[in-house]
């Protein structure tokens, strides 16, 4: 998993509350267990018509937001079914950070396991960042995980809270498998000892 430390990038505004996981990645794209290629299906129903043809106007299909690595969204982002494909699609599109007033619990947890930083900020802070991203989209937003700050130029700066364990895992690029592999030596020692003490196993 790619570590997350400091990200300075264009932020795309998505002023919608209750964006559920079926909106993020519709059910017809859940047949794969591959994490790549899902970016093209991100927000598919908002980016295409009933025949699957692209429609104009969706924020992530407009310049300069198509290069955004940060998404600013409304409250309760990631609600709905608990599909891990949702963070996979966001990450494959290139988004590394989602800023919102709140997240659905399962989606929030899945973000950390896939290298995405979900930042919870008060509604007025999110509104200020959203408006700024709409008014002057070329100005980057800087998210500093170590300092736990979100800043935009010299005018906007906010502090966010995060669980220390999740913070360290994300900064060091450690998902569940990475955490287990850190204990590889101790696991090997245990297996060796267990094998000698219980040879019938």
Average pLDDT on 108-128 reads: 97
**Tell me: the pLDDT tens digits for 140-194?**
999 999 999 999 988 899 999 999 999 999 999 987 666 665 555 666 656 666 6
pLDDT at 174: 87
Q: Is 175 exposed, middle or buried (0-12, 13-18, 19+ CB in 10 A)?
A: middle
Output the pLDDT for position 63: 95
72-83 mean pLDDT: 95
Mean pLDDT across the stretch 86-100? 97
Task: For the chain, give the mean pLDDT.
Answer: 91
Backbone φ, ψ for residue 25 (5° rounding): -145, 100
**Which residues on neighbouring strands pair with residue 8, listed in sequence order?**
142
All structural domains of the chain, each given as residue ranges with its CATH number in brackets, are 6-173 (3.20.19.10)
Q: What is the model's pTM?
A: 0.89
CA distance 56 to 48: 8
């Amino acid at each position: 998993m790619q570590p997350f430390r400091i990200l300075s990038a264009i932020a795309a505004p998505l002023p919608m509350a209750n964006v559920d996981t079926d909106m993020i990645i519709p059910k017809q794209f859940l047949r794969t267990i591959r994490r790549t290629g899902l970016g093209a299906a991100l927000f598919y129903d908002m980016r295409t018509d009933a025949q699957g043809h692209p429609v104009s106007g969706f924020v992530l299909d407009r310049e300069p937001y198509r290069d955004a690595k940060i998404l600013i969204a409304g409250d309760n982002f990631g609600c709905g079914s608990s599909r891990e494909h949702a963070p996979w699609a966001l990450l494959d599109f290139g988004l590394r950070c989602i800023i919102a007033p709140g997240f659905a619990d399962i989606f929030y947890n899945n973000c950390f396991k896939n290298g995405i930083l979900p930042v919870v900020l008060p509604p007025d802070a999110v509104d200020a960042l959203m408006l700024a991203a709409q008014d002057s989209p070329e100005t980057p937003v800087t998210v500093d995980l170590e300092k736990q700050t979100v800043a935009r130029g010299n005018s906007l700066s906010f502090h966010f809270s995060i669980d220390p364990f999740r913070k360290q895992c994300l900064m060091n690029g450690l998902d569940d498998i990475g955490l287990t592999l850190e204990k590889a030596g101790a696991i090997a020692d245990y297996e060796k000892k267990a094998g000698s003490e219980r040879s019938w196993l």
